[in-house]
Each structure stands twice: as structure tokens, then as C-alpha cells.
Chain A
């Protein structure tokens, strides 16, 4: 554990080596990838929902329970010290991972959703008032939309949305005018869209928002697992993501916050672990980050998250992005040759992460997903927790394939082949 209040050195290894990796070799590290689904080898393309776990993470989880299990931050015995050390070591790892920030700025939550709810409740409800503006985008996941609807309902703040262009990019031409009247107090947006795959220019948007005096929150759930993310470079006041979308266990989320704001904020939940002194009359809060971590946290999950970060570091995030870019470009190109397929989101793989939503004429997304499942190909079908965006696209559901490190060109070929079979099956021709 590093000393309090020191900036943890930036993880220089994070972006390298860029020499690349062989996805075929690393598939052996993921036990689930060797199972069959409906008699076929599994092609897992639902990584935007959650990723599979390498043996190292599974071992870290079970190893924690078999050798170190205890509660954190209070036991005066060996196991408690080991558990605390493992839990807090991950915090240092994360602080390094996101660009070198203070460990006090890293709060562990249940997931990105809880991280946003924490900010909405502890910062939003106290600092937003009637007539204040909240600026979101039309491509937000419900996690970065519904909490702000609640804040608006409680405070009387008003929500506006940065629109999207027909290609699925944010229409930044209107950003200045949306910010111009100075009423916008918060800008909250996704780094990468979980439906369109759009990689948003978050540093540029955050810069403009801050110039107009707005606080900024970036939802990095679909970004941090797939590319090198440096939060200080982006300049966001709050940045959130989830461990389970980057090889880690479920039930672990991260909230990064600007120290001054976190200091000013009231706790989100209260109880054990987050207090300094409690009497029958009143209580005072512990320092950051513990002030925001009431109750026994997901100790095993946090400890095992470090193993996920180590796994990704060995690959290098630039190599991860290069691999996904290659497969995304192939998928976009292959779908483009099928006249009865509509792809949503940018055509340029430079601004299109490995999340590809599409539609097959005459085949409902749920029927498509069901058919693909019958040949072992797992994709997502539905509104992807972004109902307003799906409606904006003029649909009630779309199909979505999402890529990660262990996907291969063969996976993409099997997907495209199965999509063609499904088209034939349902249209009967």
C-alpha cells in the first residue's frame, strides 16, 4: 500500500508492448472457451455485457477464500492484515492503471452503475438546483441516464442531450450553444457507446464543459477494458468503470473523483467501515476513500481484480485496441457485403470500438440471437439498456456482437456465416 495522499506513479507498462499477441494462444487461459454450447464450440461475442475470466482471476478469487479470507480494515490478526493488504493493493494498481492518481481518489463500488448513483446522490442532489442544466448525450446507457432523471425530478434541474448524427457520432457542432447560457452545471457522457460502439472525443468535450464551469462525469465502462485510458489527460471530475467487463469478477466497480469534490461530498451510504467516531448522538466520517465504502466490501472480487489488471498489462492496452480494431474492421467489412444487413454506428473502425450493433432484414433480433445460440454463437439482442437510443434508431431491439482479446478472425467468420444461415432459415428462401 502506498503512503496516503501521494500520487501513485503512472503505469508506464500499461500501453506497451505493442508487438501484439496471439489470441489463439491466450484462449487456453480461459476455461469457459473450451466448452461447447448446443453441441458447437463456443463463440463468445457478448463481451460488452461481461467478459469471460482467465484462470488467473478464477485462481485469485478462490485463492483469496482458501488462504486469506478475513474482513478488512479492523482485524488485529494476520488474516485480516493480509485481506486488507490485498484489497488496498488493488486500489494502488487501479490508481496507476488510470493514469497515475492518488489512491484516495479511487473508490470501490459494486459496479459502474453504483459509481454513477453515488455521484448523482452525493454530488448531484446537493449541488444541482431548480433551473440548473444537466447535459447528457442521446447515446447514454440507462446507468448514466436514469440516475440523472431522478436527480432532475428531485431538484428541478433540467436535462438536455447532445444529439447524434445519422452516422452515430456526437453532433459537437451544437455543443457550444448548449453550453453557452452558463446554466449547465453537469456534463455526463459515455466514453464509448455500448450500442453504436462510437468512441467519443471525451477530452475535448470535458475541456469545453469545464471552461463553462460544469462538473464532468465520464462513463468508461466500455472504454477502460479496451483501450489505454488516462483520466488526468481527459480531465474529467468523475470517471467510472466496472471490473467484470475487463476480465475481473462481477460486483466490483470503480469511481474516480476529483479530490476536492469527493471531500465536499456527503457519504452515499453510512454504517460500518466508513466512520471515524460514533456516539449515540452523532458520527463523523473516515477519510477518503473509505468515507464512500460503507459495509464489508467485495474483498475477494477486489483482490482478484488485480489479477485481471496484471493479465491485461502483460498484453498491453495498445495491443488490445489494435487487435479489436482489426476484428472490428473485418466484421464491419463483411457485414457491409450483405445487402440485407444494416449496421448502426460509425463506419470508420478508428472511431468504432469492438461493439457492433446490426439488424437483419426480416429476422427479429431475438430470433437471430436464438438461432446463433443454436450454433454456439453468443451475441446480445434487445435494447442494450439504452431504450431511448434504440427508439431514436427507429427500432425496438437490435442485435449486437462485441469483441474482446480472445476473439479470433475465425469467430468473426463463424458469426457472419451463422447470420447468413439465420437469414435463410427465417425468410424461407
Chain B
């Protein structure tokens, strides 16, 4: 087995630390259509999103995350990007981020470099246990949007662990 060296600066790029220290989107949203919580059982990261929709477009959203720098920064970037985008656009972006983090490539349908600071999440790829931290906000948003589309009224707790989503107790 090779001894591997980790470059901390790849994971915690200055932009990530900036989002962590002053997260965007940490604000109140009037009359949210979607309230969804997410958690990352491995780390204990917790996120809550309040989203107001106008038809299938996000009109406004608030993101409240307590967790590590990666999960907080990822939620903060999501808050910058998501406003004004449609459900299908956001699902495509979430898919591209997941693909980038797990395979290192994207199919080209989305240019992450053109979307706020999302590209810097690429550095997380070399730190496998932290990938779930980076995905938490996106998993939580997509599940919230799907519940909205399916007309599920009940808030749920999304999880980065497959099969762990459950109605909130």
C-alpha cells in the first residue's frame, strides 16, 4: 500500500475558508414552500433549508448549516447559485458536482467553473471521507425539490447515507 500525502491547501482552498467564516444565505425566508433538513451521520453535519418557489424556479432560499468547513462552505455556495434557477437546472448541477467528486470528471452538460465558486469543491475529491460533507447541501436541496414536485407536505430529514431518509419524528 502506498503511503499517501495529503495537501491540506487542496481541500481548504482560501475560497472555501471564506465561505466557512462568513456563510452566504444564512437568512430568514418568508413563507417557504420547502423546509428540508439534512444530516451527515458520519460527521454529524446538520443542514436546514427554507425555499420559496415561484412555479418551478427558486425565488428565495435560506441555508442554515452547522458542521465542518466543507459542509458549511458547500451550503454557502449553493445559496449563491440556486436563486433564480429551475428545478431541472439545479438537479443537473447537483448531478455534475456528484460526478466531479466521485469520478473527477463531468459530462460537460454543466460548466461548474461558471457557477460561482463551485469549482473549488474539486479539491475535496482527494479526501474520500469528506465527499459526503460536500454533497450534503445538494442532497438536501434535491430531495426537498423532489418532495415539492411530488406534493409531499411532510418535512423530511435527508441523509448522505443511502436509505436513511426518514419522515421527521
- The distance in angstroms between the C-alpha atoms of A116 and B46, with both chains bound, is 32
29 CB contacts below 8 A, A to B, read A35-B3, A36-B3, A37-B3, A38-B5, A364-B67, A364-B68, A364-B69, A365-B68, A366-B68, A366-B130, A367-B12, A367-B69, A367-B70, A370-B11, A370-B12, A370-B127, A370-B130, A371-B8, A373-B6, A382-B42, A382-B43, A396-B43, A396-B45, A396-B66, A397-B43, A397-B44, A426-B17, A426-B69, A428-B17
- When the two chains form their complex, are residues A366 and B6 in contact, meaning their CB atoms are under 8 A apart? no
A41 to chain B, nearest CB (A): 13
Q: Is A427 an interface residue when CB atoms closer than 8 A count as contact?
A: yes
Which chain B residues in 54-108 approach chain A with CB under 8 Å?
66-70
Which B residues are closer than 8 A to A by beta carbons? 3, 5-8, 11-12, 17, 20-21, 42-46, 66-70, 127, 130, 133
Interface mask (A369-387 → B, CB under 8 Å = 1, otherwise 0): 0110110000000110000
Q: Is A39 an interface residue when CB atoms closer than 8 A count as contact?
A: yes
4 A-B pairs with the lowest CB-CB distances in the bound complex, closest first: A396-B44, A364-B68, A374-B8, A397-B44
- The distance in angstroms between the C-alpha atoms of A426 and B72, with both chains bound, is 13
Which chain A residues in 414-429 approach chain B with CB under 8 Å?
425-428
The interface size of chain A toward B, counting residues with CB under 8 Å, comes to 23
Given contacts A365-B68, A371-B8, A382-B42, 15 further A-B contacts (CB under 8 A): A36-B3, A37-B3, A38-B5, A367-B12, A367-B68, A367-B69, A370-B11, A370-B12, A370-B127, A370-B130, A390-B44, A396-B43, A397-B43, A426-B17, A427-B21
Residues of the A chain whose Cβ atoms lie less than 8 Å from the Cβ of B68 = 364-367
Q: Which residue of A lies closest to B46 (CB)?
A: A396
Q: Which residue of B lies closest to A371 (CB)?
A: B8
- The distance in angstroms between the C-alpha atoms of A371 and B8, with both chains bound, is 7
A372 to chain B, nearest CB (A): 10
- The distance in angstroms between the C-alpha atoms of A364 and B72, with both chains bound, is 10
Which A residues are closer than 8 A to B by beta carbons? 35-39, 364-367, 370-371, 373-374, 382-383, 390, 395-397, 425-428
- The distance in angstroms between the C-alpha atoms of A397 and B129, with both chains bound, is 15
- The distance in angstroms between the C-alpha atoms of A426 and B11, with both chains bound, is 12
Residues of the A chain whose Cβ atoms lie less than 8 Å from the Cβ of B46 = 396
Residues of the B chain whose Cβ atoms lie less than 8 Å from the Cβ of A396 = 43-46, 66-67
A9 to chain B, nearest CB (A): 43
A382 to chain B, nearest CB (A): 7
B121 to chain A, nearest CB (A): 15
Q: Determine which residue in B17, B68, B127 has the highest number of CB atoms from chain A within 10 A of its CB, and name it.
A: B68
Residues of the B chain whose Cβ atoms lie less than 8 Å from the Cβ of A39 = 5
- The distance in angstroms between the C-alpha atoms of A365 and B69, with both chains bound, is 10
Residues of the A chain whose Cβ atoms lie less than 8 Å from the Cβ of B7 = 374
Residues of the B chain whose Cβ atoms lie less than 8 Å from the Cβ of A35 = 3
Residues of the B chain whose Cβ atoms lie less than 8 Å from the Cβ of A366 = 43, 68, 130, 133
- When the two chains form their complex, are residues A382 and B44 in contact, meaning their CB atoms are under 8 A apart? yes
- When the two chains form their complex, are residues B6 and A374 in contact, meaning their CB atoms are under 8 A apart? yes
